[in-house]
Amino acid sequence: MNILLSSYDFHEPWAHEIMKSLLHPGMKVIVIPFSFENDLVKTKDDYDQHYGIQGKHVPYILRPFHYYGITDITFIDYFRDSHELAKEKVKQADIIFLTGGLPDQYLQRLEEFELIASLKESQAIFIGASAGAMVQLDTYHITPDNDYPKYQYGKGIGLVSGFEIEVHYCHSLAQDEGIQRVIAERHLPTYTIANDGGLLVSGQQRICFGHAKQVY
């Protein structure tokens, strides 16, 4: 089962109906924060500032899980964990959380850790926000923004396939043009996911919740 989001705020009312039936106390969450920008996170100290115990992103990652009573949350540490330890953590997961950031660098680091096969074998629930949603697809498109100035396609993990998504959807002209382009070029159903929206994928079933919808 895969949940594709734009934000970490799935403890908010727009997500309750879907998430409360899936997330329960006692579940084990593994967070894979591999989507950071190379220029910002170069050392262990840099990593700790972002994803360590007092890291600036950590409260926003933990908050929704705590809301549902989940406290067993472990991070895979890019700078300290061995590849084997990372794989073992994935095996232990009931939920695997994929963070937002840069999807192409995310995939590169997952491949570096040889985690792709382990992720595909996992029976955990996958929850991903922004880049963490995009990278779950077999392929994705990127609408031009501050990080990616040109429209482009990227390769994902391939946990789900057969559709496309536009994350952080806010009705911008660039987004609408990007959506029409991917539909014309890839001929795939495409879903818009606003910051207060999500897409649940279970087998062949796709369920939009909050402000998310399929574009026809």
Q: Which two tokens stand for residue 81?
A: 């964990």
pLDDT at residue 5 in the model: 98
Q: How far apart are CA 67 and CA 210, in angstroms?
A: 18
Domain count, the chain: 1
- Burial tier of 205 (Cβ tally within 10 Å: 0-12, 13-18, 19+): exposed
The whole-model pTM stands at 0.95
Per-residue pLDDT of the chain (216 residues; tens, 9 = 90+): 999 999 999 999 999 999 999 999 999 999 999 999 988 899 999 999 999 999 999 999 999 999 999 999 999 999 999 999 999 999 999 999 999 999 999 999 999 999 999 999 999 999 999 999 999 999 999 998 888 889 999 999 999 999 999 999 999 999 999 999 999 999 999 999 999 999 999 999 999 999 999 998
> Which domain covers residue 20, as residue numbers?
2-215
Q: How far apart are CA 196 and CA 6, in angstroms?
A: 7
CATH code of residue 192: 3.40.50.880
Q: Which two tokens stand for residue 58?
A: 């950590």
C-alpha closest to that of 81 among 112, 106, 103: 112
- Burial tier of 120 (Cβ tally within 10 Å: 0-12, 13-18, 19+): exposed
Strand pairing class (205-215; 190-202): antiparallel
Q: Which two tokens stand for residue 109?
A: 């680091």
Q: How far apart are CA 131 and CA 91, in angstroms?
A: 22
pLDDT at residue 175 in the model: 94
Give the CA diameter of the chain.
46
